[in-house]
Amino acid sequence: MRLICRVPVSRGRRSAARLLAVLLLTGTAACSTPAPQGSEDGQAPAGKASSRRQLAAAAKKWGLERPPLAAPPPPKEKLRPQTPESLDRGPDLIPVFARVPTTDKVVFLTVDDGAAKDHSFLEMVRELKVPMSAFLTDESAASDYGYFRDLHALGVPVQNHTLTHPQMTTLTADEQYDEVCGQQDVLEEEIGVRPWLFRPPFGDYDEDTLIVAEECGARAAPLWTEEAFPDRMEYGSDDAKFHPGDIILSHFNGPHTWGAPITEMLRLVLREVTAQGYALARLEDYV
C-alpha cells in the first residue's frame, strides 16, 4: 500500500497530529465491523436447520417467495479491483470501480446518504440477514446517528460519502479534503469507525478527489452498476441482468422521495437477486 501525503503546510486546517493519524490509518483496515451474518458456515447441522427455518419464516413475513441465497465464503485474500480504462485516472491513485473482480454469483448492496431512518428496515435487514454497506453523508444522517449505530451493530459497515454531498469536481482540493476527512472524523465520533471506502456523490470525481480520499484513509472508491428503487432495478448492462461482482446502489429514502418505504426497495432487490440465482455478499469481505 502506497502511503502518500502532500505537504501539510499547504492546508491550513491540518495539524501535525492529524497528518500523523492519516499516515497511520492509510492502508490499514481501521474500521471495526461486526462479523458478517450472511454465512451459515461453522454452525452445527441442527443450528443450520433452525437457521434455515428462521430464514424461511422471515422471507414469508417480508413477502418473499423464496429466502435469499447464502453467499459462498468470501475470498481468503482481499481482491484488488482495478480502475477500468474508461475511468482511468493514473496508476498511482486508489482504484475506482463499479464491479468487483469475482466469478462468484454474488452482488453487493450499497445504500447511500441517510435521509430516511425506517426502523422496519433494520428489522428486515436483521431477520433476513442482509449483507449490505452504508455510505453516509453527514447532512442526511446527522439527525439520528443512533439509527446508523443500530444498523452497524447488525453487521453493516459504515463508509464515507462526504459531509454535505457536493459535486466534488466543482471544489478545490482543500475543500474536497475537508468534505472527506471531515466525514471520517464525524463517523469515527458517531459510529466508532474510520471508513476505508469512499464513494463520491453522483459518482463524480477528479484526481484531487482520489488523492484526498487516500489521504483521509480510503483505499478504494466503489461506484455502482445497478440502481435499485422500490418499483424497479435499473441495470447497468444491456441484457438487464446481474453479472458477478455487480454493485447495486440505493438510498436511505422513503415515502417522501419514492412514494414507498425503503423496505419495498429491499424486497425488490432480494427478489431480483434471488430469482437470477445470485446471493448478496458484503463488499468489505471482497475488497
Cβ proximity to Zn ion, 113 vs 284, nearer residue: 113
Cβ proximity to Zn ion, 102 vs 159, nearer residue: 159
Q: Residues touching Zn ion: how many (CB under 5 A)?
A: 3
CA distance 24 to 225: 32
User: Rounded to the nearest whole angstrom, what is the least distance from the CB of residue 14 to Zn ion in the complex?
Assistant: 26
Of 25, 108, 113, 262, the one binding Zn ion by CB under 5 A? 113
Residue 118's CB: how many other CB atoms inside 10 A?
17
Which among 9-17, 107-115, 152-160, 229-237 is the span making contact with Zn ion, rule CB under 5 A?
A: 107-115
Cβ proximity to Zn ion, 74 vs 195, nearer residue: 195
User: Rounded to the nearest whole angstrom, what is the least distance from the CB of residue 165 to Zn ion in the complex?
Assistant: 5
Residue of 148, 65, 165, 71 whose CA lies nearest to 113 = 165
End-to-end CA distance of the chain: 13
Cβ proximity to Zn ion, 112 vs 179, nearer residue: 112
Please check whether residue 276 is in contact with residue 251, taking contact to mean a CB–CB distance below 8 angstroms: no
Which among 17-25, 65-73, 108-116, 269-277 is the span making contact with Zn ion, rule CB under 5 A?
A: 108-116
CA distance 236 to 98: 10
CA distance 155 to 267: 19
CA distance 81 to 224: 13
Phi, psi (deg, nearest 5) at residue 10 = -75, -10
CA distance 94 to 221: 7
User: Rounded to the nearest whole angstrom, what is the least distance from the CB of residue 47 to Zn ion in the complex?
Assistant: 39
User: Rounded to the nearest whole angstrom, what is the least distance from the CB of residue 203 to Zn ion in the complex?
Assistant: 9
Please check whether residue 89 is in contact with residue 210, taking contact to mean a CB–CB distance below 8 angstroms: yes
**Helix-, strand-, coil-residue percentages of the chain, each rounded to 5:** 40, 15, 50
Question: Contacts with Zn ion in 12-71 (CB under 5 A)?
Answer: none
User: Rounded to the nearest whole angstrom, what is the least distance from the CB of residue 137 to Zn ion in the complex?
Assistant: 6
Cβ proximity to Zn ion, 201 vs 236, nearer residue: 201
Cβ proximity to Zn ion, 155 vs 201, nearer residue: 201
User: Rounded to the nearest whole angstrom, what is the least distance from the CB of residue 15 to Zn ion in the complex?
Assistant: 29
Question: Contacts with Zn ion in 162-201 (CB under 5 A)?
Answer: 201
Q: Is residue 112 a contact point for Zn ion (CB under 5 A)?
A: yes
Binding residues (CB under 5 A) for Zn ion: these are 112-113, 201
